Amino acid sequence: MRVLSRPLDAGSRRGRPPAWRAPGAAALLALALTAALAQPAPAPTASSTGFEGLWRTPDKSVIEIAACPTRGHLCGYIRWAREGGVDEANPQEALRKRPICGLPILELHRYDGSSWREGWVYDPEEGKTYQAALRKRDGKLFLRGFVGAEVFGETETWTPVASLDSPCKP
């Protein structure tokens, strides 16, 4: 049996340094810890993007923009219209008796940091649904409805409304 004149380093065999002291091991350890602890940034919610509230359209209707009740998307509902009534222009006969008041007209699925996209807007006067994008600039909303590509669409400017003066007409 051989007797050593000095003790071996902890974890070393035959004079080799332990694996954790090998060149580059500290960098790999730091990278592994960073990856393990890293959490993806939380996706913005509808209420954290500044789009929620009451907005007046060019035809003087008032739309409420809010988080959708079941998804984390952004939704819009008619809260006041000059003429109430029902959704008579809807191409689906079963939906033509829905009241205009409270009608969902907007749903957008993805916020990209400056605008909401990947969704739809419904025009109850024409009974048509379009793809949509919604941007906010200088305290106003800019809703672009389009078919296919945004360049083939039209933009409406919506202005903020502090509160409703009267309830929606049935």
Spell out the residues 6+ positions from residue 77 whose beta carbon is closer than 8 angstroms to its own. Answer: 63, 64, 66, 102, 103, 104, 105
**For 45-62, how does the pLDDT look when each residue is reduced to its tens digit (9 = 90+)?**
555 578 999 999 999 999
Question: How confident is the model at residue 72, as a pLDDT?
Answer: 81
How many other CB atoms sit within 10 Å of the CB of residue 131? 19
Coil, strand or helix at 25:
helix
Question: How many whole angstroms separate alpha carbon 34 and alpha carbon 156?
Answer: 46
Q: Minimal CA–CA distance to 109: which of 43, 39, 42, 40?
A: 43
**166: confidence class by pLDDT, cuts 50, 70, 90:** confident
Compute the distance between CA of residue 84 and CA of residue 161 in angstroms, rounded to an integer: 19
Cβ proximity of 110 and 117 under 8 Å: yes
Q: Walk me through the domains of the chain, giving residue ranges and CATH numbers.
A: 46-161 (2.40.128.520)
Q: Chain-wide mean pLDDT for the chain?
A: 82
- pLDDT greater than 50 at residue 75: yes
Q: Is there a contact between 11 and 19 (Cβ–Cβ < 8 Å)?
A: yes
- Pairwise CA distance, residues 58 & 71, whole Å: 28
* Residue 59 near residue 91 (C-beta atoms within 8 A): no
Give the C-alpha separation, 81 to 47, whole Å: 24
Q: What is the pLDDT of residues 10-25, one digit of tens each?
A: 555 566 655 545 566 5
Cα 137 versus chain centre, distance: 17
Confirm whether pTM is higher than 0.85.
Answer: no
